[in-house]
Structure 1
């Protein structure tokens, strides 16, 4: 609004302005000159938010000795609240014998002054206030009294009481910390003893007293076994190669060719070799537990020797059956053939046995590693508990010290004292300042009062005021009724309004030669758009039309409340693609009326209302229903209503008496002029009938 307009309003209501300023100014002036002075003195106290963690006991744990009533986020404010609620203020009042006009001792709450209690201070002439100085840890304690000396005493007494209160609180909290640490100390000691016993039990049960040496010895045995296994494998390879060479040489002699094949197929030799293999494995197992001199070992060796001799004899016999005459060279080869066969059995058994031994060693190493890991874990727990025990024991000593010393973590850095010029200590009245303030406040009040008078009736109240503004034609004026009347059975006179709206719809649809979708718009919430949609849908259903009422007000849905139906699923779920159309349609009390409630709550309703599924919804429902009515959010809540109106055949504007100003209605009219299709008519709701 221009300055000239303000001036016009001020001139128009000048007598109201002059009277307001005059009354406030003279009343204030009279109060200033007859009031007895109130003096103000202050003392400053600095506090330390580290609680008990001073330089002397700086190692005290943070959780021990912390004032339970103090919040770390704003220590000064919390100390102020703590002091104001404590009984020490009442003690100071009694010591100074502070009484009101009737001679009664002041209550501590009555003396505490804040911005809203200044008028009370002016009446009782005494009080105090504690405030934080800037963002520091300094508090200013201010005392008020109509006696300067009493104001100084009150301020200093409150400052000393504040220090004493903190000292007492800290001692109490130190005692609490002592008890907590004592319990922790005993608990840790018990857990430490249990952990140490667990280590010893584990060592005894798992033979893990010297687990490092066990691991070292096992690794050495593993390497030795692997070397032996490699040697056995190498010897086995050499023996197999040697046997092949012998066979090749013997195969060059025709008389031995068939003998070599006979040896391979001889079941007796094969059986003896298998027995020899079994005995060799048995001997290897015996030597793990018994000495070579043991009778069982000697018996097995004798069996092995006898069996080796039989194998050699069988091989020699096979070759001798083909020999016509003895050739020393071939005789030597035949003997080597037998020895090599026995060596192959010996080395293969040795390799197989050593492979098993190596596998066993690996498993034992794995078990030792697990034992070592478990033992290390138990030892670490013991170490942690030891460290905790030593720390808590040390902190316990610190807390004992804190219990026996007076520490408040606060000090008075500036006590209260009167100024050399006592006029500087006057809090009220300050005559010049109060006169200027009275003029300023009176002028502001007078000006605001004139504006209030001018603009009190700016809203549209009557049909005549509505007609002055360019809006779509008024279809119906519905008078205001009580909310209780709407919830009960409606009168025939009230229902007749909606039959008239139906008639307008019939003429409008016939004129446009299409029918189907109705969208009602309103500028603000609470104008009755949803109630009108409800009643209109019932009237259309009574007229024999199939009607679908859709709650598209996803911001503030209420259709389900009016019809007393559930709202677990609805339009939002269909637009999201989670439900089909048939799943979201619900019946109503009238057979011709179906309802789609709003459904699941959405944080961004405009995003979902603009989905392509809305177009499919209108297309499908047009085919099934005569009338589809959309209930939408207010225009000033968002653009949801405009999105829905794109699919409408009929758009109605609902305006409520006293809900919208002329300026806001003009703004709304400009907005709806750009809607396609254009708005068909206006329903003036809650009208005041003169």
Structure 2
């Protein structure tokens, strides 16, 4: 489609665009009038976890959640739960008395992380965001009052600090009670162990253990203590590995099955065993050599190579199992490999420690039985003593943690008075909003203009006639304001040029006929007016014509020529009048009219199908150069088809932009079926001049 055609569509549908602009401007101003101004106020809270972690103890029972509370892999999730907890959020609502439009206190569901429409409807809310998985949180308060938006953000922060401190103190106390109980239990056990050692020495007269036994005992105690530490570290590493897998299930419901498939892979299992072997060998080498020894360097290089292969294989498995982007599974694979390496290193360390303890215990077994039994008692006593000392250190750390000032671990960027959230501009700037609305309205108007044009099935141009009907346009009658509804002697037809050109084009198309029937698909198309003006113009020369009003259902020709509706076509069909009596003379000697008559016909189609109407047309040909028949619309019945069958040619009249294409096609196809030739199309009521 050429640019010119687009412009024609826009011009033809211009009122759609105008209405769209007007409605959009009115709608925008209406929204501005009814929508309250919403303000938002931002605050930031940063938790310095490095300041908190040193005060937490690894040696307390696993049921004390305090130890897990500050682990980096889940600390932010726990804090976010605190921010959105009932004491923090509901406490804010209650403290500030935040109510909805009905005067009821807001609920947490409406208040926390509200949608845009919830903010507009409720007028208040708070949004909590963890900034890019960091230790910082953003608290955004929303309100119709800028000061209240600031108060919401500040109150949420204040309640968070209270709840965080309360949770912190409660769990510290739980940890302290647990450690105190363990201290008491270990102290009793240690006292009993010392008594057993003393009694055994006394009964067996073993007062001075050999230096060898002391050395072995000391070594075993140290190794077991180190083994306990390694076991705790391994438990934490396995928990961290499990957390990585669980964290990846958040947005992937079937991720658990993915990890099962990955870890059951023979290649990954082979790399894990190879890494464990290499790490164990490295630990054994480090017992004999320094880290700069060539064998140690080779062992570490082998570990790096196998680690890289493990990470690559994990990425490969992830990429075939999930549909996320490469950055996602690269990050997961890297974290998984690092955590897995830590568990392997600790497992290798435990293997070496167990082997060392076993060797020293074998050395003890070679010592005489009594001394060996004494050594066992000493080992148990020394182990308990080591545990007791460790618990004392933990207890001191817990006391230090209780004195920790949480204010030093939290950085707070206070909120400022609320700034506009919606509308972004001030309401007084009506001109700016109106300009924006005009722009949007134009876009919508163009969209609907072209949509309606696409859906429009009417005939509007000569191109439509050619493309949609495969017919030629022989005349285009313009739209005439205040067109006279009658024709008299002094009437000058505004369609005179078009009518003369119509007959010229008919001759050029190779058609010459004395009988012309005007047909149209529906009523109100202007067919009777067109037929009357054609008859009037064509008889202004030397031609003699007769105009027959064949619309027996709703006649109108007699009104146009100011003739009485007396004896006419209907009386002739009933045999009540002869040929001469039905002809009405007009102001012109060359133009006669046969009105529809005043007789009532029960079934006009039956009367028209009789031979009487055909005989009338045949008789008229002897006296007139041109016979023009006005017919009823096709929508009211087949009268027009019957009248068109009297050796006539049909002129199809279409009202521009009014007749549906389906009704026109139905009429055209029906005329073609009964072999009535359509000599051309008249476009009537054309709003813009068309040059044929």
- TM-score between both structures, scaled by the size of structure 1: 0.34
- TM-score between both structures, scaled by the size of structure 2: 0.34
